[in-house]
Structure 1
Amino acid sequence: MSSKMDRRKKYTRMVLKQSLMQLLKEKPISTITVKEVCEVADINRSTFYSHFKDQFDLLNQIEGEIIEDMNKTLSKYNYNKEEEALQMTEKLLEYVAANSDVCRTLLSEHGDANFQKRVMKVAHDYTVKNWMSMSDIDSEISEYLSLFAVSGGIQVIKNWLNNGMEKSPKEMAVIMIRLTNKGFSSFG
């Protein structure tokens, strides 16, 4: 009996998450109501409230799962080694590609700006922080370089998602690592 309830709870949460993601493609979270989410999900509001406080809580849950998955993916690699940096970036891009619809929506203009900041922090913690510690760059400007690299990486990923992921995750990883390690001159 309890496994049946667990399946029902999982299904309900899944439908609510999908419904919110569908609405986020059309408008920002600040204009989405619980009533709209419930209408799209075909679930009554009391059921919604038995799982989430409001639409922001639901969005936070979705974002938290993505961040947790990113942390699990990235924690398997050591960015101090250049070959692992490429593998790690490729795995991250494979994750983004496998979850492209959700990632595209969450990183869109309708997504939550805090999510992008959280993604940037994860990327910074696993990649740029280690990369900067290996380099001879003055610590005073390293934070600026870090912000530049991570922000640029997010924009590259957003562009890649929005343009139909024409290049493979491996091709994109090579481009991103080359840009990060050698800058524009590596493409001349």
Structure 2
Amino acid sequence: MLGDTPAMYKVGMILLKGLLGQPRNPREAVGWLKRAAERADTDNPHALHELGLLYESAEGNDALVRDEAYAFRLFKQAADLGYKFSQYRMGAAYEYGLMGVPVDARLSIMWYSRAATQEEHQSELALSGWYLTGSEGVLQQSDTEAYLWARKAAMAGLAKAEYAMGYFTEVGIGVPANLEDAKRWYWRAAGEYSPGVEDVSL
């Protein structure tokens, strides 16, 4: 069947989320997303990622059965096409052992790095975490790099990164301790992300 891949993806998302006055129809949505995914390329990786999200959780969706291994393959395919949000999912999968893959620091850092070079901000924060702890034989610990990656994500407005910046500037990780700066970061983060902020002693 001929058709426009971005349009197939768009129709799938409209039916999935009930947009533009359309009733939600998850079963039909998955069909459209699968059609778009079959034709995925570097310009059109989005359907692979959305299907990955659906198969990873499948909560409240009787149109499909949860399949983490398939979700991982979909994310991997989109990540290989350069889709930064799927690259982030790959980094997280290898960091935490999600979707049935083993924990692998080297692969986690590799995928986070690829996404971070495209300014995927959660990956920037994840790299900050890797630099904070280091990984023997894989990544040398560096407070400076931890600070710089967190700052990059925080400057983009990622609330968890703003919170991390508050901690780094309070304690003096990668930067001289500065309680005034720390407070500013905590307050900024609290505007968008409050859990855990109120119990920090300044």
TM-score normalized by the length of structure 2: 0.26
Structure with more of its chain in helix, by fraction: 1
TM-score normalized by the length of structure 1: 0.27
Larger RCO (CA under 8 A, 6+ residues apart): 1
